[in-house]
Chains A and B, each alone.
Chain A
Amino acid sequence: MEYEAVIGLEVHVQIKTESKLFSGSRAGYGYEPNELVDPVVMGLPGSLPVMNKAALDGIIKAGLALNCIIPDQCKWDRKNYFYPDSPNNYQITQYDQPICDGGYVEIELEGETRAVMGEHKKIKLTRIHLENDVGKLNHFAEDSLVDYNRAFTPLMEIVSEPEMHSGAEAFAFLTAIRQTMIYCGVSDCDMEKGQMRADANISVRPVGQKELGAKIELKNLNSITGVKNGIEYEIKRQTQELKKGRAITQATWRWDADQGRTELMREKEDAHDYRYFPDPDLMPVLIDDEWRNRIRAELPELPFDKQRRFVEEYGLPYTITSVLVPDQELSAFFESAAKESPKQAQAIGNYVTNDLLRELSEQEVALDDCQITPEHLLSLVNSVEKGVITKQIAKDVFIEMFNTGELADAVIERKGLKPDFDEDQVKVWCQEAIDENPRPVEDFKSGNEKALNALLGQVMKKSRGKANPQTVNPLLRSMIS
């Protein structure tokens, strides 16, 4: 029998703000334990939560970017539970009136090769709501230590419909959310800092069966790769169990990335009874068109839209766009050069994604701090276009520009890279190459196209690399025949 997996994801994303969701202590990562706390965060009697406007703007932006409906009203509810991560014994969240309804995420699956665009799909969302993050527990042999710095950081929960079917789809889903959030400036989504976290609900059923199989909740998926590997492992495990005729029991499992396997955390006890009720400390939020439109106007061009436009407007190949687009800053850098000289966009794209990225990474410099500007790229492609230097020499000129901050013309001038000979001299070299290399000449005459490269190489050598192969090549051909 054939089986299929059904996967839904719950993705938690911290919204980037200065202060916490319901109080004024700073929101941040990497501070001393319990440095970022105040009476609200510690749940002290008499403290009252007050909404942070920027967190509301942030989630509305995220919702609009993910195609959600933003209803006119949302409200706050208390989710009651006892656990040391929350001194209040409840979390402020949104139960029946989330700030974002529905929506979908456009995802791209891996293509057949890196040069080919993969299949695009839309994964529906159930909702996105806002809640306060909770403290972090550090486990030791005898006890656990709690740090409340993270508590009350604004946290979005993005809930997908159960309509993914593989680890690869879940991977693509998270990647798309991450890139969208980074583009919108809503979150940096650094999973190592806990800014993005994911839980997966996974079930397996025989193909054709309508009802879902028993659901396993998979936790501890601490990286995007972890999500992919954990889910794939869990699908295989459940499928094997079913094939052996064993039933799957609803339970919570955890992914152990080191061991590369999942393990049982707990069988489903009594269904949680969170006794949600409206939080009396907080007023409902009413959202009107003016607010929605203000945020909509702030939305950046989203990653896939940018990618499609780069292909259409600049004729960029997929490989270049797939390197550029995940990096918003690099895309903007490319475009400020490309829009000045759209015909040379592909050459510019090549310098940005090959030469520039290589130098940035080799010399460990950030794009912001490097000396290359769009003007540098334009000066370089123009020198090549005009035939002043060859593409080969342009590579060296690029490195020189990168190191000194000079424009291409200045580098070419200073290093004497401009051809110091005329076309007649090139003809002389061609003739010499032909006379000195009878074998390749014969080979070429008898139809071996590649033999011409040997002669071309000779001419390049004679010109110390400065001759332009695009002029030498036809010259040789005409002189031989």
Chain B
Amino acid sequence: MSDTPHIDIEKVANLARIALTEEEKATFSSQLDSILGYIDKLNELDTSNVEPTAHPHSVENVWRDDQAESELPTSEALKNAPKERQNMVVVPKVVE
């Protein structure tokens, strides 16, 4: 196990659907750990008087009117699909 105080690298890799070698696990977990360590440092700041923000820019209400624009041709849209049939993307059978 390459657990560190901050991160369970196997869990994170699994959530991201990434297969890691033992070597990569060690590298990434130390890198991620230092990033999260930095967050710890930020946590030391007293932010009780600071408004929470969801975005670094002070821009709000950016939108467009509800107007339809031209679409991507189906053939273009499916170009990246590993496999297609009946103009749909073929994926392994999913049971839900």
Residues of A bordering B, CB below 8 Å: 17-19, 24-27, 32-39, 42, 44, 50-56, 75-76, 80, 82-84, 97, 137-148, 265, 273, 275, 278, 280, 282-286
Contact = CB atoms under 8 A, between A and B. Distances in A.
A27 B69 CA distance: 11
B15 to A, nearest CB: 6
Contacts of A284: 54-55, 60
Interface stretch (B28-36, B39-47, B86-94): B86-94
Interface of B: 15, 17, 54-55, 57, 59-72, 74, 77-78, 80, 85-96
A37 B74 contact: yes
B64 A38 contact: no
Given A24-B68, A146-B91, A283-B60, 8 more contacts: A19-B69, A24-B69, A33-B87, A52-B64, A56-B63, A144-B91, A273-B15, A284-B60
A75 B39 CA distance: 22
Contacts, number: 128
A37 B84 CA distance: 15
A33 B15 contact: no
Given A25-B69, A26-B71, A35-B74, A51 B88 contact: no
B91 A84 contact: yes
Contacts of B59: 283
15 contacts: A24-B68, A24-B70, A25-B68, A37-B77, A42-B77, A50-B63, A51-B62, A56-B63, A75-B55, A139-B94, A145-B91, A278-B55, A282-B62, A283-B55, A284-B55
B93 A33 contact: no
A18 B88 contact: no
B86 to A, nearest CB: 6
Contacts of A26: 68, 71
Given A54-B66, A84-B94, A143-B92, A39 B72 contact: yes
A54 B68 CA distance: 12
Contacts of B92: 143-144
B91 A17 contact: no
Contacts of B65: 53-54
Contacts of B72: 25, 37-39, 42
Contacts of A142: 93
Contacts of A35: 71, 74, 87
Nearest to A50: B64
Task: Give 7 closest A-B pairs by Cβ, nearest first.
Answer: A24-B69, A54-B66, A145-B88, A51-B63, A75-B54, A84-B91, A33-B87
